[in-house]
């Protein structure tokens, strides 16, 4: 008998160890989506060409992620977009490598290029503001490997179809999440916020992201799993037509 994938335990190990982060992503994809296969990552030639064009060394963690699953749209591009190697670019100051864009251009993610020995640098986010002079890079997550864990989990919640849904939370939602779901061992983020906004939960075969009372996103392993969590946490679910 095949051992059941332990999402909570595997994620906790991935949060603490870069190699285990890739193990988690492989196992999560195999159990909840479809297995990562040869060809799902970008070839070395594309990554080397990006380095030559930019004149910088790509962080080792970014190289590893791109080589493993960087072309898997269901893991990196359902909502926000992981940039292809040919689209990687530096910010205006030439000090931050931009690797991800929000789907409507409202935010950009990047890593600083200060220490070439830093294989797993911190991730920063910059919001697109009407006042361009007020735009600045703010801390998001302490390590890029954590950033890719968050990216894969968040993009998988935005796959649409019968297994994903969006809840506009009410006053009881937070209490119901605590009652019926287990908090996952993912660090609070963004790191620059005075109040940490985003939290992750695991329900009965349902992965949930709660955005500080603004939104709840959920993905079930099956459509039936998602229906059960809708019953446990009732409310204005976007795609619940029952």
CA distance 54 to 98: 11
Distance of CA 106 to the CA centre of its chain: 16
pLDDT value, residue 142: 94
Question: Lowest-pLDDT range, 135-139, 150-154, 195-199, 229-233?
Answer: 195-199
pLDDT value, residue 195: 66
> Averaged over 208-218, what is the pLDDT?
93
pLDDT value, residue 191: 77
Q: Name the pTM for this structure.
A: 0.94
> Averaged over 11-23, what is the pLDDT?
97
Above pLDDT 70, what percent of the chain?
95
Q: Which residue has the tokens 């080589």?
A: 67
At 1, the pLDDT band (50, 70, 90 cuts) reads: very low
- Name, in order, each residue with C-beta under 8 angstroms of 98's C-beta and a sequence gap of 6 or more: 83, 88, 89, 90, 91, 108, 109, 110
pLDDT value, residue 130: 67
> 60-69 and 144-157 are packed helices; what angle lies between their axes, rounded to 10 degrees?
30
CA distance 105 to 91: 15
SS3 6: coil
Report the mean per-residue pLDDT for the chain: 93
Strand-pairing partners, residue 95, are none
pLDDT at residue 101 is higher than 80: yes
**Please, what are the domains in the chain?**
7-151 (3.40.1580), 160-237 (3.30.310)
Cis ω before 100 (30° cut-off from 0): no
Higher-confidence residue of 11 and 160: namely 11
Question: Lowest-pLDDT range, 51-60, 78-87, 124-133?
Answer: 124-133
> Averaged over 87-106, what is the pLDDT?
94
Higher-confidence residue of 197 and 107: namely 107
> Averaged over 37-66, what is the pLDDT?
97
pLDDT value, residue 242: 63
- Name, in order, each residue with C-beta under 8 angstroms of 25's C-beta and a sequence gap of 6 or more: 14, 36, 68, 69, 75, 148, 149, 152
Q: How many CA atoms lie within 13 A of 123 on its CB side?
A: 22
Contacts 24+ apart (CB under 8 A), 143-146: 143/18, 143/61, 144/59, 144/61, 144/62, 144/65, 144/111, 144/120, 145/14, 145/18, 145/21, 145/61, 145/120, 146/15, 146/21, 146/186, 146/187
pLDDT value, residue 32: 96
pLDDT at residue 241 is higher than 80: no
At 3, the pLDDT band (50, 70, 90 cuts) reads: low
Q: What share of the chain is helix, strand, coil (3-state, %, to 5)?
A: 40, 20, 40
pLDDT value, residue 172: 94
> Averaged over 17-40, what is the pLDDT?
97
pLDDT value, residue 188: 86
């Amino acid at each position: 008998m095949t051992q059941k994938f332990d999402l909570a335990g595997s994620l906790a190990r991935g949060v603490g160890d870069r190699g285990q982060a890739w193990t988690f992503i492989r196992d999560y994809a195999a159990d909840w989506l479809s297995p990562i296969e040869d060809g799902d990552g970008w070839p070395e030639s594309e990554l080397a060409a990006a380095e030559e064009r930019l004149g910088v060394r790509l962080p080792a963690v970014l190289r590893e992620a791109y080589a493993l699953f960087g072309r898997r749209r269901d893991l990196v591009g359902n909502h926000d977009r992981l940039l292809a190697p040919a689209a990687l670019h530096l910010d205006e100051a030439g000090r931050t490598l931009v690797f991800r864009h929000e789907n409507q251009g409202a935010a950009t993610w990047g890593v600083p290029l200060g220490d070439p020995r830093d294989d797993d640098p911190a991730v920063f986010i910059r919001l697109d503001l009407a006042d361009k002079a007020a735009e600045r890079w703010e801390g998001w997550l302490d390590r890029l490997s954590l950033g890719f864990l968050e990216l894969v989990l968040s993009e998988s919640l935005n796959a649409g179809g019968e297994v994903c849904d969006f809840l506009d939370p009410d006053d009881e939602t937070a209490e119901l999440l605590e009652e019926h779901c287990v908090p996952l061992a993912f660090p609070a983020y963004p790191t620059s916020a005075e109040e940490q906004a985003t939290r992750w939960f695991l329900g009965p075969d349902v992965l949930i992201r709660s955005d500080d009372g603004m939104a709840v996103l959920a993905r079930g392993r099956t459509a039936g799993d998602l229906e059960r969590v809708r019953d446990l946490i009732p409310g204005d679910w976007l795609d619940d037509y029952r």
